[in-house]
């Protein structure tokens, strides 16, 4: 079992407003979220001595901007903005997911490099049609995809969903209960983009297809915004403003899978299973110990591969369970209790992490899961750069 | 490479690894990269063999026979150059030569309602420009 189990904690969570086309710079949104996280923890900018993120901006085609403060906010730039540049002991930046930054930050705290680390994810909605591959030439890995029109993530997820449906005898009607219940969870989350806009099962069945059988309601909602977490030692966190969310363990995936397609059902299962085995080994826990699961839902189908891959049920069983209420707020395993990325907004896993923290610190309000002592958060699709975290309540 | 906006279908730009693949396609042949040491085939081509780590890899012709692994149907163009091809079937096919050897491609001459996993397919080649042919698939026996 991991020697540092429950010795690092999330001490604060902060959000900017999550909007479409906010008209504000990404830097301004980032500062709003970071200051909110500091205030939540009861810390000042001058307390920060570590900053980490994965600042990547997804690009499809060739005309998306990469301007600092507008399209991306790197930790170096943010350190300057926060007036912390001269004091920061450690900076982390990855090309993976922000959740890799969370692992790096925990390790920096354990190593004694820093006391209070800010981990944030800033994303915006680029101008124009989001995934329009309108460049004349496809280079690198794009050359095997874009000439066929395989240039948008919804299409990659759609072939996974199609294969899942076909192999296990489901169709979109089986997903309707979960999607509607997920939107109901978003109604209970003050940060959620879709708060105030309910969704019926019929709305889901009738939704506009993006890549059949994947509809617009199977895709998370791209937003302008930022979410930030403050990490520190569990000991220090106990003297701060909020109860600490203890980091019990984590695992990351390096599983590449077949490369002839960006996502493949069997490889996502394999990757999630390998990651799950390491997480349960590291923490000494099992799926039965988990009270609530925040499963990455950049696309709806990922909820299924995570649920099955992490060992909550067998491959192909997940959608039947969700159809029957297993993942509801009052179900056996409440899933994406804050609305996930489908309901809260597209922040590359921060919705999952922030909600896991809220549940184990008893701060989830009307969506609080009774006895929510152990929360799982998984991020990405099970393939390389994916991560999973277990957070526990402080006793 | 300048990133100019276009209304054409994006063209693949061959590189060090992929030049033999696209050269074969231009001659209407499907070639896969194969490891000299263990025979494992890779698509897209790799620097080193994922099965054995060997770095002697060469392209060899394959049958062009495949089965349908999965698919999606687009009713809106994913890029301007696809507007006259709707509905567009994006498919992942599994080549006959090796389990798990997957390729992203298009299905043509196929009825979206009749598609099923495992249905036999056959490669064919579509000239996009004088210099470029794309590998496409159609139901076998048509």
Chain B residues close to A264, C-beta within 8 Å: 69, 92, 102
Q: Which of A209-223, A283-297, B3-17 has the weakest average pLDDT?
A: B3-17
Domain of residue A37, CATH code? 3.40.47.10
Q: What is the pLDDT of residue A130?
A: 63
Reported as a single tens digit per residue, the pLDDT across A332-363 is 999 999 999 999 999 999 999 999 999 999 99
Reported as a single tens digit per residue, the pLDDT across B61-80 is 999 999 999 999 999 998 88
Reported as a single tens digit per residue, the pLDDT across A108-121 is 999 999 999 999 99
Q: What is the rounded average pLDDT of the residues B33-49?
A: 96
Q: What is the pLDDT of residue B94?
A: 98
Same domain, B47 and B74: no
- pLDDT exceeding 70 applies to what percent of chain A? 97
Given pLDDT bands bounded at 50, 70 and 90, which one contains residue B36?
A: very high
> Taking Cα atoms as reference points, which of A354, A376, A393, A360 lies closest to residue A14?
A354
Residue A134 at interface with chain B, using a CB cutoff of 8 Å: yes
* Any domain includes B3: no
DSSP A219: B
Query: Crossing angle of helices A300-309/A176-187, nearest 10°?
Result: 100
Q: What is the pLDDT of residue A63?
A: 55
Read off the tokens for A3: 């020697």
How far is the alpha carbon of A65 from chain B, nearest alpha carbon, in Å?
Answer: 12
Interface contact B79-A63, CB threshold 8 A: no
Domain extent, residue A45, equals 8-129+221-244
Same domain, B53 and B77: no
Residue A149 backbone zone (phi > 0: left; psi -120 to 50: alpha; other: beta): left
Same domain, B142 and B89: yes
* Any domain includes A263: no
Instruction: From residue B68, give the alpha-carbon distance in Å to each of A11, A107, B13, B24.
Output: 49, 45, 26, 23
Interface contact B78-A133, CB threshold 8 A: yes
Q: Which of B69, B104, B127, B131 to mutate to test the interface with A (most CBs of A within 10 A)?
A: B104
Reported as a single tens digit per residue, the pLDDT across A29-55 is 999 999 999 999 999 999 999 999 999
Q: Which residue has the tokens 């800033």?
A: A122
Q: What is the pLDDT of residue B19?
A: 97
* Any domain includes B33: yes
* Any domain includes B100: yes
DSSP B86: P
Read off the tokens for A229: 């977490």
Q: What secondary structure does DSSP assign to A274-295, as a single string?
A: HHHHHHHHHHS--GGG-SEEEE
Our count of domains for chain B comes to 2
Share the mean pLDDT of chain A: 95
Nearest residue of B to residue A139, measured between CA atoms: B13
* Any domain includes B8: no
Q: What is the pLDDT of residue B80?
A: 83
* Any domain includes A52: yes
Same domain, B101 and B132: yes
Nearest residue of B to residue A151, measured between CA atoms: B78
* Any domain includes A394: no
Same domain, B79 and B94: yes
Same domain, B75 and B133: yes
* Any domain includes B128: yes
Residue A208 at interface with chain B, using a CB cutoff of 8 Å: no
pTM here? 0.96
Same domain, B79 and B137: yes
Same domain, B56 and B68: no
Residue A275 at interface with chain B, using a CB cutoff of 8 Å: no
Same domain, B96 and B133: yes
Interface contact A258-B11, CB threshold 8 A: no
Residue B131 at interface with chain A, using a CB cutoff of 8 Å: no
* Any domain includes B1: no
Q: Are B80 and B45 in contact (CB under 8 A)?
A: no
Residue B118 at interface with chain A, using a CB cutoff of 8 Å: no
Q: Which of B1, B9, B10 to mutate to test the interface with A (most CBs of A within 10 A)?
A: B10
* Any domain includes B6: no
Residue A171 at interface with chain B, using a CB cutoff of 8 Å: no
Interface contact A135-B10, CB threshold 8 A: yes
Q: What is the rounded average pLDDT of the residues A363-388?
A: 96
* Any domain includes A193: no
Read off the tokens for B5: 């906006």
Reported as a single tens digit per residue, the pLDDT across A190-208 is 999 999 999 999 999 999 9
Same domain, B70 and B139: yes
Residue B26 at interface with chain A, using a CB cutoff of 8 Å: no
| Lateral strand order in the sheet of B41-42 | B41-42, B31-35, B57-61
Interface contact A211-B4, CB threshold 8 A: no
* Any domain includes A79: yes
* Any domain includes A87: yes
Same domain, B73 and B139: yes
Interface contact A143-B14, CB threshold 8 A: yes
Reported as a single tens digit per residue, the pLDDT across B93-118 is 999 999 999 999 999 999 999 999 99
Domain extent, residue B43, equals 13-62
Rg of chain A in Å (alpha carbons): 20
* Any domain includes B29: yes
Same domain, B28 and B81: no
The CA distance from A157 to B88, in Å, is: 16
Q: What is the rounded average pLDDT of the residues A57-83?
A: 85
The CA distance from A247 to A233, in Å, is: 10
* Any domain includes A228: yes
Residue B97 at interface with chain A, using a CB cutoff of 8 Å: no
Nearest to B3 among A135, A150, A261 (CB): A135
């Amino acid at each position: 079992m991991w020697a540092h189990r429950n010795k690092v904690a999330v001490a604060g969570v902060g959000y900017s407003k999550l909007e479409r086309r906010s008209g504000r710079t990404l830097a301004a949104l980032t500062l709003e979220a970071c200051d909110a996280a500091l205030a939540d923890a009861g810390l000042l900018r001058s307390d920060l001595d570590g900053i980490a993120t994965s600042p990547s901006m997804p690009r499809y085609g060739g005309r998306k901007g990469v301007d600092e403060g507008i399209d991306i906010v790197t930790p170096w730039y943010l350190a300057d903005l926060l007036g912390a540049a001269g004091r920061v002991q450690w900076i982390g930046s990855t090309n993976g997911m922000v959740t890799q930054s969370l692992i790096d930050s925990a390790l920096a705290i354990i190593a004694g490099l820093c006391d209070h680390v800010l981990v944030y994810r800033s994303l915006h909605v680029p101008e124009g049609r989001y995934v329009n591959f309108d460049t004349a030439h496809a280079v690198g890995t794009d050359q095997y995809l874009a000439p066929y029109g395989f240039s948008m993530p919804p299409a990659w997820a759609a072939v996974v969903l199609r294969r899942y449906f076909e192999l296990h005898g489901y169709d979109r009607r089986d997903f309707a209960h979960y999607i509607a219940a997920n939107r109901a969870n978003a109604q209970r989350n003050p940060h959620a983009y879709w708060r105030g806009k309910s969704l019926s099962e019929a709305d889901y069945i009738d939704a506009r297809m993006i890549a059949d059988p994947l509809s617009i309601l199977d895709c998370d909602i791209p937003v302008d915004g930022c979410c930030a977490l403050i990490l520190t030692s569990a000991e220090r966190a106990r003297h701060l403003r909020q109860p600490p969310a203890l980091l019990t363990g984590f695992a990351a995936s390096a599983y590449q899978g077949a490369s002839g397609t960006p996502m493949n059902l069997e490889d996502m299962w394999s990757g999630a299973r390998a990651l799950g085995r390491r997480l349960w080994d590291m923490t000494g826990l099992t799926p039965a110990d988990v009270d609530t699961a925040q499963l990455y839902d950049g696309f709806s189908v990922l909820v299924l591969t995570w649920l099955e891959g992490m060992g909550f049920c067998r491959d192909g069983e997940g959608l039947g369970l969700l159809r029957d209420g297993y993942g509801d707020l009052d179900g056996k395993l409440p899933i994406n209790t804050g609305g996930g990325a489908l309901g809260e907004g597209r922040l590359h896993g921060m919705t999952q992490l922030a909600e896991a923290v809220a549940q184990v610190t008893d701060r989830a309000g009307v969506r609080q899961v009774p006895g929510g002592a152990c929360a799982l958060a998984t991020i990405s699709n099970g393939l390389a750069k994916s991560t999973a975290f277990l957070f526990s309540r402080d006793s | 490479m300048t990133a100019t906006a276009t209304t054409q279908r994006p063209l693949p730009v061959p590189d060090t690894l992929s030049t033999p693949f696209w050269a074969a396609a231009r001659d209407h042949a499907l070639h896969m990269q194969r490891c000299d040491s263990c025979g494992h085939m890779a698509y897209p081509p790799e620097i080193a063999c994922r099965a054995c780590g060997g770095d002697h890899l060469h392209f060899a012709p394959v049958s062009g026979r495949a089965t349908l692994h999965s698919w999606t149907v687009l009713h809106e163009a994913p890029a301007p150059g696809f507007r006259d091809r709707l509905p567009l079937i994006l498919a992942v096919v599994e080549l006959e030569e090796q389990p798990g050897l997957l390729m992203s491609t298009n299905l043509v001459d196929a009825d979206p309602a009749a598609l099923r996993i495992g249905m036999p397919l056959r490669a064919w080649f579509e000239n996009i420009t004088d210099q470029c042919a794309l590998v496409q698939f159609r139901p076998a026996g048509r």
